[in-house]
Chains A and B, each alone.
Chain A
Amino acid sequence: MTDAHTLEIRDLCIDVGDFSVVDGVEFSIGRGEIVALVGESGSGKSLTALSIMGLLSGAVHQSGGTATLEGKQLDLQNDAAMRKLRGTALSMIFQEPIASLNPLLSVGAQVAESLIVHGRASSAEAWDRAVEMLQDVGIPAPDRRARQLPSELSGGMCQRVMIASALIAAPRLLIADEPTTALDVTIQAQILHLMRRLRAETDTSILIITHDMGVVASIADRVCVMYGGRIVEQAEVHQLFAEPRHPYTKLLLATIPRLDGARKQELFSISGMVPDASAWPEGCRFRTRCPLATERCATRPQLAPVGGAGRVAACWHSDKVGGLT
């Protein structure tokens, strides 16, 4: 292989009507790597994921950029071409497992579906593979469970079913959009454990979208932090948490109450709120809330190396971030 990357995104731009909601997003995911896209609501992380699957529709459209999967460029706007890849080369799971499953179809049939639709197996073979897959994701008595409806399974089990159906055709990339947000914390721990195990066994690359820094710390190899439709910082996970180089990352980490932090103390908070996509400031989009902002920030800072392998941050003052809070 000449290209070591499973997925490579270049200059991705997404508009809603006249407003830019994702602006020049670039990142790559290596084989068997888990990359987290983290940010608050409105940061553009979920739209980025949907566009990679070719699932943007209506007023939301891709206005620029390319995506390459194992060296081959994806035709993101071509629904017929993308449909061939969805479920085979690319798979996605969502936040609400119960809402994502067909309530009238047995879970076994839903796991088997992508093999049948893509002509990879006969119905009988696909069913057998589905039962194996359910066993793989840790569902007890998979034979019996495969014949049940989603309503007969718990939320955690349904998310296992989603993962089974996403992975049955051995995709190169699994996109997981807030896969544990709707689940209880003990079930979240099980699902994260399962994702780590499947990555180790199958070498599948995973893009996980989350707002939860705890989940990022638990599962990601590399992290892209998004704010206002742009990636503001990208780093290896330990480096990011140990020494954030973008003020937003630093402040975001400081606002979270932690199980090992001080109690009843005033928590750090970021002043103001995320502006609407229609009201983003010129230049750096964080500058209206940033304690380090200067006049220079009215000019857009590009992602630039900040030391450390592959570390980049988009901030004119990244060398001063350590002194914040």
Chain B
Amino acid sequence: MSEALLSVRGLKVHFPVATGKLFGETPLVRAVDGVDLTLNKGETLGIVGESGCGKSTTGNAILGLAPVTAGEILFEGRDVATLTGRERQALWRDLQVVFQDPVSALNPKRTIAQSIAEPLAIHDATRARRQARVDELMALVGLRSGLRDRYPNELSGGQRQRVVIARALALEPRIVICDEAVSALDVSIQSQVLNLLLRLQRDLGLSYLFISHDLSVVRHIADRIVVMYLGTVVEEAPTDTLFSRALHPYTEALLSAVPIPDPAIERSKTKSPLQGDVPNPMDMPRGCPFVSRCPLREAGCEDVRPVPVIVASGHRLACHVREREITGRSALDTARTPEDPLT
């Protein structure tokens, strides 16, 4: 039934930090530190988390825009690292990206038609074929053909993002990575672009990896959601499950922090904002990355890194305390056994 189009296994992306010192160890930022995820055909997988959680770096690593330190990225079961040059070029046809800021994604000196035609030119289509395809694509994303010869600065933010989407679709990709694709748009425009993305998915059978900090938007569009914190996946679940039965204390805090645009509901929420900040990624705790802000913290959480375990169908969780509540045991107990045989 569901077919894995893209899988990421044990992905790590570590960046060395320039210290200016000649000797001694180079500190590492562990931007992505062991991420597993699967994107099935025709579905939308949301990745949410706060700044610095590694969600964009994960997307960039899949796109080949960030160096992979460890782990594998499998496209239709084949490791992309082993592809030959020609196979890799074929992969780029299947895998496209839409970033947050359409202004910087478009060359200001090229017309809309030129920008949309560029990937077609690279992947050798004839000139006549290109022109016809540009018209098709502009119609597909809801741009008037009269805008063909306009420049990006003559368009509104929403129209520019449509141009970027048209260009991403030019080569008929199967996966589109949307990295904060609607975050820079005003709300009235954001809903137009979300509607467009949903329609395109229905019509073209696209799969989306939808990376965003905006939980309301991700909830609207995603089938499944991965929650990241400090480079690791803390929870993964089908969207409805995540919003009705979040298990990780970080997911709970994140969901309760999103203000609901209705004062009657918003003001009746019990407010217990998460204390403190995300720790410095150069100075990660050995154990659970969330330990410094966690209300459920127990002895041992800071030493033993929780491994995501499946607690229900499609529901993965990386939390010792909640894991024990559900399954009756956790890695904390085994780690403690030698010193304390009574537990």
Among A185, A214, A255, A268, chain B packs the most CB atoms within 10 A around the CB of A185
Instruction: Give the contact-size bracket for chain A.
Output: 35 or more
Among B190, B191, B192, B263, chain A packs the most CB atoms within 10 A around the CB of B263
The number of residue pairs between A and B whose CB atoms lie closer than 8 Å in the complex comes to: 138
Known: A252-B187, A267-B191. A186 touches B260 (CB 8 A): no
Mark out the residues of chain B between 183 and 212 whose CB falls within 8 Å of any chain A CB in the assembled complex: 186-192, 194-195, 198
The answer for the CA separation of A273 and B277 in the assembled complex, in Å, is 38
Among B158, B187, B198, B277, chain A packs the most CB atoms within 10 A around the CB of B187
Within 8 Å of chain B (Cβ to Cβ): is A294? no
Residues of chain B lying within 8 A (CB to CB) of residue A188: 257, 259
Smallest distance from the beta carbon of B16 to chain A beta carbons, Å?
20
Within 8 Å of chain A (Cβ to Cβ): is B265? yes
Give the residue name and chain of the A residue nearest to B280 (CB): A154
Mark out the residues of chain B between 123 and 172 whose CB falls within 8 Å of any chain A CB in the assembled complex: 156-159
Known: A213-B261, A241-B261. A268 touches B216 (CB 8 A): no
Docked-complex contact B263 and A237, CB < 8 angstroms = yes
Contact with A along B299-315 (1 / 0, CB 8 A): 00000000000000000
Contact with B along A257-290 (1 / 0, CB 8 A): 1111101101111100110000000000000000
Mark out the residues of chain B between 244 and 263 whose CB falls within 8 Å of any chain A CB in the assembled complex: 253-263
Docked-complex contact A187 and B260, CB < 8 angstroms = no
Residues of chain A lying within 8 A (CB to CB) of residue B188: 40, 251-252, 255, 269-270, 273-274
Residues of chain A lying within 8 A (CB to CB) of residue B239: 263
Partner of B259, one of A212, A238, A261, A268: A212
The answer for the CA separation of A260 and B244 in the assembled complex, in Å, is 10
Smallest distance from the beta carbon of A194 to chain B beta carbons, Å?
9
Within 8 Å of chain B (Cβ to Cβ): is A134? no
Within 8 Å of chain A (Cβ to Cβ): is B4? no
Docked-complex contact A256 and B191, CB < 8 angstroms = yes
Within 8 Å of chain B (Cβ to Cβ): is A99? no
Residues of chain A lying within 8 A (CB to CB) of residue B253: 186
The answer for the CA separation of A217 and B264 in the assembled complex, in Å, is 8
In the complex, identify which listed stretch (B80-88, B111-119, B266-274) lies at the interface while the others stay far away.
B266-274
Smallest distance from the beta carbon of A254 to chain B beta carbons, Å?
9
Give the residue name and chain of the B residue nearest to A43 (CB): B186
Within 8 Å of chain A (Cβ to Cβ): is B297? no
Docked-complex contact B195 and A269, CB < 8 angstroms = yes
Docked-complex contact A241 and B273, CB < 8 angstroms = no
Smallest distance from the beta carbon of A111 to chain B beta carbons, Å?
19
Within 8 Å of chain B (Cβ to Cβ): is A129? no
Residues of chain A lying within 8 A (CB to CB) of residue B277: 154, 156-157, 187
Docked-complex contact A264 and B198, CB < 8 angstroms = yes
Docked-complex contact B220 and A214, CB < 8 angstroms = no
Give the residue name and chain of the B residue nearest to A267 (CB): B191
Among B186, B195, B216, B239, chain A packs the most CB atoms within 10 A around the CB of B186
Residues of chain B lying within 8 A (CB to CB) of residue A270: 188, 191
B interface, CB within 8 angstroms of A: 50-51, 156-159, 186-192, 194-195, 198, 213, 215-217, 219-221, 239-240, 243, 253-267, 271, 273-275, 277-278
| A and B contact pairs by CB, cutoff 8 A, 28 listed | A40-B187, A156-B277, A184-B213, A185-B215, A185-B254, A186-B274, A189-B259, A189-B271, A189-B273, A214-B261, A217-B262, A252-B187, A255-B187, A256-B261, A257-B194, A257-B217, A257-B219, A257-B220, A259-B219, A259-B258, A261-B216, A261-B220, A267-B195, A267-B220, A273-B159, A273-B188, A274-B186, A274-B188
